Amino acid sequence: MSKYVPKLSDLKKEFDEKPSVLKGNYSVQEWWDIPVEFRDGNWCFPGKPEVLEDLGFANPRKWAATDENWQLPAGWQKTISDGLQSRLKKYRSLKLFLDSCVRCGACADKCHFFLGTGDPKNMPVVRAELLRSVYRHDFPLVEKILKGFSGSRKLTEAVIKEWHMYFHQCTECRRCSVFCPFGIDTAEITMMVRELLNLIGVNNNWILAPVSNCNRTGNHLGIEPHTFVQNINSLVEDIEDLTGVAVEPTFNRKGAEVLFITPSGDVFGDPGVYTMMGYLLLFHHIGLDYTISTYASEGGNFGMFTSNDMMKKLNAKMYHEAKRLGVKWILGGECGHMWRVVHQYMNTMNGPADFLEVPVSPITGTRFSNAAATKMVHIAEFTADLIHHKKLKLDPKRNDHLRTTFHDSCNVARGMGMFEEPRHILRNVCNTFHEMPEDTIREKTFCCGSGSGLNAEENMENRMRGGFPRANAVKQVKDRHKVNSLVTICAIDRASLPPLMNYWNPGVSVYGLHELVGNALIMQGEKKRTEDLRENPMAGFEDGGDDEE
């Protein structure tokens, strides 16, 4: 295990024995008196100078969060103060969320980071108060007069350190916003504070490096066009070895009906690549006229975790490429924050997409009127529709070696509202599916603990703590129903849940939904399949065993 994480037994001991605000047996006087402590495992390395220079970002330098002196640029207070003023003018949400909280405490124990750390400043209300306290000091007149009364404080370097720590212990998952009686959304506040911190060079390399890569090469992982093609072609070979079927994806092809965009993690990372194989099998199975772009080769958008301007800049490639290629509409792969961007921001930022058509499934004829303006359809919507119209030949027995549960990804759940489509697919491609406890799924789902660009190795302790509520819910179905497969529709989940499961629930593997689709698909002209896409033996399909037909 990583050197950035305590031993499981030590962490469990801490949870059992150490008094905490969460357990109610620990009291502190005031949150603003608690010092901020950066140590191994609870912070992400800052953006490298060359990355910042490439992006034209402020204050490139070598530094670490553990440094005493953060080398903030001259006049940084004014930069922050002006930055906050201008954002308050541009976003009603920010102003409202700073003004309307009554500190009722409904959100307090809803945050996965609070549940995993017991740190009072990880209660969403206090996280927002970190900014509110400064806002109240600077802005409304009367509360300024009544300083001690309303918990106002000055903007100091210590506050910046606190912001850096706690706005990088928020994954913008919006769970708190579900429970807030005013719908106050900490994600909105975190996004704004991260924008502000970037103005003075307080940042996270695990976010900014992918942003810079994506700008240059078209994807977060920095894969250049020829390598991108090579990677997918090697998956094509793997598919042929396993199934005997030669799928034929095309790249940058003009005149295709559909442009398919998925997170680059699916092209490059394990276990994302198996999900990619699932897509390729599916498209071949239905004979979809699609193409993949090496330029718009990223579904995800780490710009979202940087600034809204950067989000827009990285997202612009999707429509730009769709227009150039002359496709009719765009199909998007499994991803969490990608879909928050596509669903709630893309058309506003980079639309209108008049050059595209309202998406119609060429197989079923279903018109996706819910995507009539943005013209981009989620693969789960697309596949659920195919299954509903019985257009797929599926053998769910081929997933009998997997006892599954489903993890709702935060952004898809609370920033889009897609719950039934993936479940419909899952129920049709496998025989064993058990839901986790109801307070941990659907709109109440828990984050993997590594979302919003916190997936850095050096941040491992935070990730294992932040992912604890999710892991604990998985443990319950593992114990009760022998679940061994955690199915998800998010690329960050596919990268971050495997280490989380290894830490808390060894023996549980992480799957993309379309990997299971790929396993279950009965392809025309396939050879006898005995192994799943991971080359693991499928139960009941061993050589010499029963044939499926």
Partner 1 sequence: MKKVLMPLVMVAVLALVPFLGVQYAGLSYLFGVIIPYTAIVVLLAGFLLRLVDWLRRPVPFRIPTTCGQEKSLEWIKYDRFESPHRFWEAAARVLSEVFLFRSLFRNTKAELHKDSNLAYGSHKWLWLGGLAFHWSLLIIVLRHSRFFFVMVPGFTEFLDHADGFLDVTLPTFYITNAVVLAAITFLVFRRLNDAKMRLISLQTDYFPLFLIAAIVVVGILMRYLTRLDIMPVKDQMLRLVNFSFDDPGEIGTLFYVHLFLVSVLAIYFPFSKLMHAGAIFLSPTRNLCNNSREKRHVNPWNASIKFKTYSEYEDNYRDKMKKANLPIEKQ
Q: Which stretch binds partner 1 (CB under 8 A): 63-71, 93-101, 198-206, 523-531?
A: 93-101
Greatest Cα pair distance, the chain, in angstroms, is 83
CA distance 121 to 163: 10
Q: Which stretch binds partner 1 (CB under 8 A): 339-347, 391-399, 457-465, 523-531?
A: 339-347
Query: Quick one: which of 126, 425, 513, 533 contacts partner 1 (CB under 8 A)?
Result: 126
Nearest to 490 by CA among 427, 428, 413, 396: 413
- HEC profile for 159-178? HHHHHHHHCCCCCCCCHHHH
Query: Quick one: which of 24, 365, 525, 544 contacts partner 1 (CB under 8 A)?
Result: 24
- Looking only at residues 144 through 163 of this chain, which bind partner 1 when binding is defined by CB under 8 A? 146, 148-151
* Residue 316 within binding range of partner 1, rule CB under 8 A: yes
Q: Which stretch binds partner 1 (CB under 8 A): 170-178, 235-243, 394-402, 526-534?
A: 170-178
CA distance 87 to 385: 41
112 in helix, strand or coil?
helix
Give least dist CB 545 to partner 1, A.
36
Give least dist CB 179 to partner 1, A.
6
- Looking only at residues 419 through 438 of this chain, which bind partner 1 when binding is defined by CB under 8 A? 419-421, 424, 437
CA distance 460 to 121: 19
CA distance 168 to 305: 10
- HEC profile for 26-67? CCCCCHHHCCCCCCCCCCCCCCCHHHHHHHCCCCCCCCCCCC
With respect to partner 1, which residue has the nearer C-beta, 194 or 312?
312
Give least dist CB 166 to partner 1, A.
14
Query: Quick one: which of 36, 153, 251, 534 contacts partner 1 (CB under 8 A)?
Result: 251
First to last CA, the chain: 44
With respect to partner 1, which residue has the nearer C-beta, 129 or 266?
129
Residue 116 DSSP label = H
* Residue 244 within binding range of partner 1, rule CB under 8 A: no
Pairing of strands 290-292, 258-261: parallel
Give least dist CB 142 to partner 1, A.
4
* Residue 134 within binding range of partner 1, rule CB under 8 A: no
Distance of alpha carbon 503 from its chain centroid, rounded? 20
With respect to partner 1, which residue has the nearer C-beta, 62 or 92?
92
With respect to partner 1, which residue has the nearer C-beta, 77 or 364?
364
List, in order, residues 6 or more apart from 329 with CB less than 8 Å away: 257, 258, 259, 322, 356, 357, 358, 359, 360, 371, 375, 376, 377
Q: Which stretch binds partner 1 (CB under 8 A): 234-242, 315-323, 513-521, 531-539?
A: 315-323
Please name the amino acid found at residue 214. Answer: C
Q: Which stretch binds partner 1 (CB under 8 A): 39-47, 238-246, 249-257, 276-284?
A: 249-257
Query: Quick one: which of 138, 400, 443, 526 contacts partner 1 (CB under 8 A)?
Result: 443
Number of CB atoms found within 10 A of residue 457's CB: 15
Query: Quick one: which of 5, 371, 429, 491 contacts partner 1 (CB under 8 A)?
Result: 371
* Residue 525 within binding range of partner 1, rule CB under 8 A: no
Rg, Å, the chain Cα set: 24
* Residue 74 within binding range of partner 1, rule CB under 8 A: no
Query: Quick one: which of 2, 215, 431, 509 contacts partner 1 (CB under 8 A)?
Result: 215
Query: Quick one: which of 48, 49, 58, 95 contacts partner 1 (CB under 8 A)?
Result: 95
Nearest to 314 by CA among 214, 189, 194: 214
Q: Is the peptide bond before 60 cis (omega within 30 degrees of 0)?
A: no
Beta bridge partner(s), residue 376: 330
Query: Quick one: which of 6, 326, 351, 498 contacts partner 1 (CB under 8 A)?
Result: 351
Cα three-residue angle 287-288-293, rounded to 5 degrees = 135
Q: Are 523 and 366 contacting, i.e. CB atoms less than 8 angstroms apart?
A: no
- Looking only at residues 252 through 311 of this chain, which bind partner 1 when binding is defined by CB under 8 A? 252-254, 294-295, 308-309
486 in helix, strand or coil?
strand
With respect to partner 1, which residue has the nearer C-beta, 402 or 490?
490
* Residue 82 within binding range of partner 1, rule CB under 8 A: no
* Residue 85 within binding range of partner 1, rule CB under 8 A: no
* Residue 218 within binding range of partner 1, rule CB under 8 A: yes
Query: Quick one: which of 55, 159, 178, 286 contacts partner 1 (CB under 8 A)?
Result: 178
Give least dist CB 46 to partner 1, A.
24
Give least dist CB 135 to partner 1, A.
13
With respect to partner 1, which residue has the nearer C-beta, 204 or 440?
440
155 in helix, strand or coil?
coil
Q: Which stretch binds partner 1 (CB under 8 A): 408-416, 454-462, 495-503, 507-515?
A: 408-416
* Residue 6 within binding range of partner 1, rule CB under 8 A: no
Distance of alpha carbon 504 from its chain centroid, rounded? 20
Query: Quick one: which of 164, 285, 328, 414 contacts partner 1 (CB under 8 A)?
Result: 414
Count of residues near partner 1 by CB under 8 A: 125
Query: Quick one: which of 73, 75, 352, 540 contacts partner 1 (CB under 8 A)?
Result: 352
* Residue 366 within binding range of partner 1, rule CB under 8 A: yes
Task: Look up residue 511 and give its two tokens.
Answer: 């799957």
CA distance 110 to 171: 13
Beta bridge partner(s), residue 405: 486
Query: Quick one: which of 5, 44, 51, 125 contacts partner 1 (CB under 8 A)?
Result: 125
With respect to partner 1, which residue has the nearer C-beta, 243 or 294?
294
262 in helix, strand or coil?
coil
Query: Quick one: which of 59, 70, 110, 122 contacts partner 1 (CB under 8 A)?
Result: 110
CA distance 462 to 456: 10
